[in-house]
Amino acid sequence: MRSILEAPYITELVRTCSAMYAQGWDERNGGNISILLDEADLKGYLDVTKVLRRIPVGFKEPSLKGRYFLVTGTGKYFRNIEVDPAASLGIFRIADDAEAAELLWGYTDGGSFTSELPAHLMSHAARLSVDPDNRVVMHCHPDNLLAMTYVHDLDERAFTRTLWQMETECIMVFPEGINVLPWMPCGTNEIGEATADKMKTARLVVWAQHGIYSAGKDLDETFGLIETVEKAARIYMMTANLKIRQTLTDADLHQMEERFGIRAREGYLD
């Protein structure tokens, strides 16, 4: 068996966690990431017949039974994940009863998966139902996007249009727009269900006064979605109190659709 710490999904996740911390998106133990793995990904690294312990999930999602996940741990500081990934991360399989995680590796200090696991797993199920290539769910707390949720209308169309107007590339990166949830207590099945419902129509879901959820085919795409949104939010916060002399118009954004073969969310452009 090769060391699991050399597996590409571990090394890339550790690198991504450090990058997110450096961006200021994951203060203290804020934020979490989950990656859907195939059993083939574990071959040569783990014996999937050896279950270390069973951890209740707190809800039941039959569509995910037997699926494997790599997930950040509860209470883990992103800046320390590179120091001790075996304690900070865990790989588990959803049990046949779909009510528990069968831990195969990690959480070596006796810990567990993030408290936001319901939102992650429900989001995975939702994204897989519309795009089977989506394998990563990422949650963090970008500064400017959070600030924007205090001062901007939370209407999803208005919120999306403002971000599209802040930077030419935005409509290319997230043409389906951004969905928004009003503030809700975190770590509950209720916010997980609401997030998953929003994930059916967009890869980005803003939690007002809290953070953002992003889904993508890999860590680079998922990180890049948040990175683009956060930059657009920063430009908005820099200009919100200034006199706007020019901006990207709907006609401009339609030109982007034609030039790059993309299609903006229906009804979001005039």
Catalytic residue annotation: 116
For 106, the 3-state DSSP assignment is strand
Phi, psi of 136 (to 5 degrees): -125, 135
Alpha carbon dihedral 256, 168, 202, 99, in 10-degree steps, equals 140
Q: What Rg, from alpha-carbon coordinates, does the chain have?
A: 19
Token pair 């993309």 in the structure block, residue: 262
For 171, the 3-state DSSP assignment is helix
- Please tell me the distance from the alpha carbon of residue 158 to that of residue 143, in angstroms, as a whole number: 20
Q: What is the DSSP letter of 132?
A: T
Q: Which of 268, 141, 127 is nearest to 195 (CA)?
A: 127
Q: For the chain, first and last CA: distance in Å?
A: 58
For the sheet with 136-140, list strands across it: 53-56, 100-106, 89-94, 68-72, 32-37, 136-140, 211-216, 204-207, 179-181
Across-strand partners of 73? Answer: 113
Burial letters for 71-110: b for 16+ Cβ neighbours within 10 Å, e otherwise? bbbbebbbbebeeebebbbbbbbbbeebbbbbbbbbbeee
